[in-house]
Amino acid sequence: MKPVVAFDIGKVLLDFNYGILITKLAPRTQCDEVTLDAYLNQSPLLAEYESGQLTSSEFFTRIQNETKFTGTEFEFAAFFEDIFTPIEEVIEMHRQIVESGLSTYTFSNTNEMAVRHISHSYDFWPRFTGHILSHEVKSLKPNAGIYESLEALSGRIGEAIIYLDDRPENIEAGLARGWRAFCHQDANETQAFLEAQGVLTSSGHDSTA
């Protein structure tokens, strides 16, 4: 049975910077940037949204009410979506894995607004066989539910799943299930890992070029 390869999105396929959002959002609220950063990153609000407990409209309404944001939901979504930068080396590795005939899956703690933007903006999205997204399966990594969702969708378990993520706790949860999991920090190291798993050839990609 051929393995499948699962990719986290943030910090693996796409870099992101919530500071961009905060800089744009703060002047339209009653919060300074420090307060707004703590509100978005240290409160449970984002986790509630990414675990599917809040719809996009409910998420926006909470932020509008609690920060006194003066713009529309459309304006907020535009700010919220414009935080990504492609990590081209990993996107290229994914393309070559797909061309080799293996199935691939996104496997991400993310939200509806981000996915709406990413799916329309990056051509890697339709190359994936399927998508396991926390807000859809209502479970956040490293909780077991989202891992079970990937196993169910892919029809693979244990060593038949190769998995890239930037968060050690998420990788540990994958390793505990017998997955071949690797913590992505550097494109060269990730390339070497994928080559060692037999899903990427050394002649297929030179991340130093």
pLDDT digits (tens, 9 = 90+) for 119-148: 999 999 999 999 999 999 999 999 999 999
For 10, the domain range is: 4-15+85-196
Residue 209 forms part of a structural domain: no
Where helices occur in 1-157 by DSSP H, the ranges are 18-25, 33-42, 45-50, 56-67, 73-81, 88-99, 112-121, 134-137, 144-154
Mean pLDDT of 176-198: 98
Measured in degrees and rounded to the nearest 5, phi and psi for residue 158 equal 55, -135
Boundary of a domain, candidates 51, 81, 111 = 81
Cβ contacts of 207 within 8 Å, gap of 6 or more: 89, 187, 188, 191
CA 203 to CA 43: how far, in whole Å? 46
Residue 201 forms part of a structural domain: no
Share of the chain above pLDDT 70, in %: 97
User: Please, which pLDDT band fits residue 92 given cuts at 50, 70 and 90?
Assistant: very high
Let me know how long the chain is. Answer: 209
| Whether residue 204 has pLDDT greater than 60 | no
* Domains: count for the chain: 2
| Whether residue 209 has pLDDT greater than 50 | no
Mean pLDDT of 181-190: 98
The Cα-based distances of 165 to 107, 110, 169 in angstroms read 9, 13, 9
Give the amino acid at 206.
D
CATH no. for residue 139?
Answer: 3.40.50.1000
Residue 38 forms part of a structural domain: yes
Residues 77 and 153 in one domain: no
Residue 57 forms part of a structural domain: yes
Mean pLDDT of 154-167: 98
Residues 45 and 22 in one domain: yes
Residues 36 and 133 in one domain: no
Residue 208 forms part of a structural domain: no
User: Please, which pLDDT band fits residue 203 given cuts at 50, 70 and 90?
Assistant: low
Residue 92 forms part of a structural domain: yes
Give the amino acid at 4.
V
Residue 108 forms part of a structural domain: yes
Token digits of residue 108: 């991400």
Residue 205 forms part of a structural domain: no
pLDDT for 208 equals: 33
